[in-house]
Amino acid sequence: MEMTGLQIQLEAFLQALTAGVLVGGLYGLMCVGLAMIFGIMRVINFAQGDFMMLGMYVTYYFFILLGAHWLAGGVLAPYVSVLLAVPVMYVVGYLTHRFLISRVTGRRGAALDGEGHYAQLVLTLGIALILQNGGMMVFGPQLVSLRTPLSSSAWEIGPLWGDYVSVFANKGRAVAALISVAAIVLLGALITRSRLGKALRASADNPVAASYMGIDVNRSYRIAFALGTAVTALAGGLLATNFPFHPFVGLEYVIIMYAGVVLGGIGSILGAFWGGMVIGLVQQLSALVLPMQLQNAAIFVFFLLIVMLRPQGLFGRVSERT
């Protein structure tokens, strides 16, 4: 028996859905990283995508250092590299905030009045330019990829309908999505349970009140920025195990991150994850009806629609004041 038209369409749909969920898990993690920074500190960090790119290259060099066949025939090496890159990027984020970002945010930013917000935008734009172009000088312009045996094999789910309609889940992406979810659960526990998490949330909610309660708000911001950078780098490293990348790759993802964060409702960490997930689904499902090149254009249009129609996000509340 031949596959019917309906079955073909169903299979394509399910395949896109699966791909969307797997990619969406990664995007979700990326967005959570940004939500730590944008959501908690209200700092627009244009360099977020480029920090992710840096995380990808750090992962890549750890991978080279370890050797492709190190441990379990190379299956584990990429993931170990990712985990090694995370603390490195935490430090990068910490120092970036300490020496650059903190000078235009917080108290000092407030002194700059309306221009404080200009200053943040332009400062992070400068960092982005340095990272992108510096990246090209240091790493070279060519595409790089982290080869793992997992990214070229897949699990088959099905057949689901008679002998047909099978869905393939790429192993590399599935593992990456699982690690993402695990990381978010850990981060969620850190934020809701730990003393540090409480300090972060208090600083986000009302910095002045938090400082009256003896919380070092500047330290909270520094840690939030560092954590955000580290989480984004983790997402980047996982992404690098599945997709090739180059020094300008950050630009492709930075809008995805903001779209996810806005969609999830600014300030909500968990919302950002679901926002990223939705963006992943939109991107993959749009491929069913749109040509490949327009996949990213679809994300931008979707982002514009969200910002215009529901600036408070799908999960957020209105807080407009006059």
Q: Which residues bind other proteins (CB under 8 A)?
A: 42, 44, 100, 103-104, 112-115, 117-119, 121-123, 125-130, 132-137, 141, 247, 251, 255, 258, 262, 291, 293-294, 296-297, 300-301, 303-304, 307-308, 311, 317-318, 322
To other proteins, the closest distance from the beta carbon of 85 in angstroms equals 22
To other proteins, the closest distance from the beta carbon of 181 in angstroms equals 27
Task: Report the C-alpha gap between 62 and 84 in whole angstroms.
Answer: 7
Task: Report the C-alpha gap between 140 and 134 in whole angstroms.
Answer: 9
To other proteins, the closest distance from the beta carbon of 243 in angstroms equals 17
Phi and psi torsions of 170, nearest 5°? -60, 125
To other proteins, the closest distance from the beta carbon of 232 in angstroms equals 17
Phi and psi torsions of 141, nearest 5°? -80, -10
Give the chain's radius of gyration (CA, Å): 20
To other proteins, the closest distance from the beta carbon of 163 in angstroms equals 37
CB-wise, 150 or 278, nearer to other proteins?
278
316: left (phi over 0), alpha (psi -120 to 50) or beta: beta
Preceding omega of 78 cis (within 30 degrees of 0): no
To other proteins, the closest distance from the beta carbon of 307 in angstroms equals 5
CB-wise, 196 or 255, nearer to other proteins?
255
To other proteins, the closest distance from the beta carbon of 263 in angstroms equals 12
Task: Report the C-alpha gap between 89 and 86 in whole angstroms.
Answer: 5
Q: Measuring CA to CA, which residue among 248, 252, 251, 180 is closest to residue 24?
A: 180
CB-wise, 34 or 235, nearer to other proteins?
34
Q: For residue 309, give every residue at least 6 positions away whose Cβ sits within 8 Å of its Cβ, in sequence order, or none.
A: none
CB-wise, 117 or 198, nearer to other proteins?
117
CB-wise, 25 or 135, nearer to other proteins?
135
Q: Measuring CA to CA, which residue among 295, 243, 227, 271 is closest to residue 53?
A: 243
CB-wise, 150 or 279, nearer to other proteins?
279
Helix (H), strand (E) at residue 156 = strand 154-157
CB-wise, 53 or 77, nearer to other proteins?
53
Q: What is the three-class DSSP state of 280?
A: helix
